[in-house]
Amino acid sequence: MKVILLQDVPELGKRGDIKEVALGYARNYLIPQGLAEEATDSAIAAVQAQKGKEAKIAEEDLAKAESLAAGLEGQTIEIQAKASEEGTLYGAISNSKIVSALKEKGFEVRKDQINAGHIKEIGDHEILINLDHGLEARITLIINSE
């Protein structure tokens, strides 16, 4: 019996896959549990249309991420922070401060995408930003003493 998976099923397939399964497995487990539905012509057409929409959305999302990566690459941002005379900051620069500085320049980045480490000194620091779709961008963070 052909079924369309409504959810990911371990060792069978992912949501939206069309699979051939035993009649009893489909009728006694997959369909009653809401994990699958019978693969009728109209249901198959609906799944294919949905996959087309998802592919288009993923393509647009990739284009946005590529554009953001290209815009971010090589950017320089400055942050003012209190520091001792030796150049040690009184408080570490957080990812939130970097996100705020990037937002002021017009870049929308989440703080979990920033790989800055523990910054506690004034000066120039190279920051790696891990964007969606495996893209990366490097920016320069300049920390000045207030």
Q: Provide the CATH number for the domain around residue 87.
A: 3.10.430.100
Alpha helices in 7-116 (DSSP H): 23-25, 41-72, 95-104
Q: How far is CA 54 from the centre of its chain?
A: 15
Q: Give the domain-ending residue among 64, 99, 118.
A: 64
CB 37 within 8 A of CB 6: yes
Cβ proximity of 90 and 119 under 8 Å: no
pLDDT tens digits for range 34-87 = 999 999 999 999 999 999 999 999 999 999 999 999 999 989 999 999 999 888
Q: Are residues 77 and 107 in the same domain?
A: yes
Last residue of a domain, one of 64, 89, 111: 64
Residues 6+ apart with CB under 8 A from 25: none
CA R_g for the chain = 25
Residue 24: per-residue pLDDT: 95
**pLDDT at site 118:** 84
50 vs 40: CA distance, rounded Å: 15
Residues 82 and 60 in one domain: no
pLDDT value at residue 145: 86
Q: How confident is the model at residue 112 (pLDDT cuts 50, 70, 90)?
A: very high
Phi, psi of 77 (to 5 degrees): -125, 150
Domain extent at residue 59: 2-64
Residues 110, 131 contacting (CB under 8 angstroms): no
Contact 22, 13 (CB under 8 A): no
- Among residues 64, 86, 114, which one ends one of the domains? 64
Run of H or E including 125: strand 123-130
